[in-house]
A and B are shown apart, each in its own frame.
Chain A
């Protein structure tokens, strides 16, 4: 196997391009989700706590599906399609595993450490047990974007 990226055979180059296309699509979606206030709320939601966000699901599935459709019309794109599969499908399964681990971690969190939102205040650290009685209603201060 040749590890020199400049001397890769055309098949491997095509696969690498497909993998990069999948990776760039996924990480561009993550960047937009984290920085753009106008990003669609539907894509930031989750179907289930054990699944990634809808946007992550779409950005993981879209490149291989698009390449698969294009490769049926143009066989030259077969290597790019394969590369897209090699990145996107294992990565999607990895993301599901990671989100499931997070959801299980939240479920395993000791109940005493969870502070109800009504008692949260900017003056009380969120990881400490409140020493004052919970007050009803909203906090005096609210953060807006």
Chain B
């Protein structure tokens, strides 16, 4: 179904998703354990923007692959960077849109009902 460059791009997308899974997996493991990690890289500049770990994994990984491809003169790494960039840009935009929409939506008010 995929040509050789497209297979490299899919590999790049998997590498980017793997780095993101590492960051988020650790965070969720600690949340499940009852001791959520705080501070860098799990904070965000603004509530509407993605957290640092999302930016690092989705923008940093394709950039690293691209720079490695340039430095080592390996077009395969540049193709992987392209796939990672397609994954990363889509994820960053999706996360940003989701966070902006949540901020714009008023929270439902809770009502306290006294039972006898």
Contacts and interface: CB of A to CB of B under 8 A. Distances in A.
Q: Classify chain A's interface size.
A: 35 or more
A101 B32 contact: yes
Contact of A106 (B32, B97, B108, B111): B32
Contact of A20 (B10, B18, B81, B90): B90
Given A19-B89, A83-B86, A98-B21, A24 B108 contact: no
A3 B105 CA distance: 34
Q: Interface majority SS on B: helix, strand, loop or mixed?
A: helix
A107 B95 CA distance: 28
Interface string B7-35: 00110011011101100111011111110
B40 interface: no
B53 to A, nearest CB: 12
A12 B6 CA distance: 11
A26 B97 CA distance: 11
Question: Which of A1, A104, A145 has the most chain B CB atoms closer than 10 A to its own CB?
Answer: A1
A93 interface: yes
B90 A19 contact: yes
Interface string A80-95: 0011011101110110
B112 A94 contact: no
A91 B101 contact: no
**Nearest 10 pairs of A and B residues by beta carbon:** A105-B32, A23-B94, A90-B17, A19-B90, A101-B25, A23-B90, A105-B29, A102-B28, A27-B98, A27-B94
18 contacts: A1-B69, A16-B86, A16-B89, A16-B90, A23-B94, A27-B94, A28-B98, A83-B86, A87-B86, A87-B87, A94-B17, A98-B25, A99-B28, A101-B28, A108-B33, A141-B113, A142-B113, A143-B111
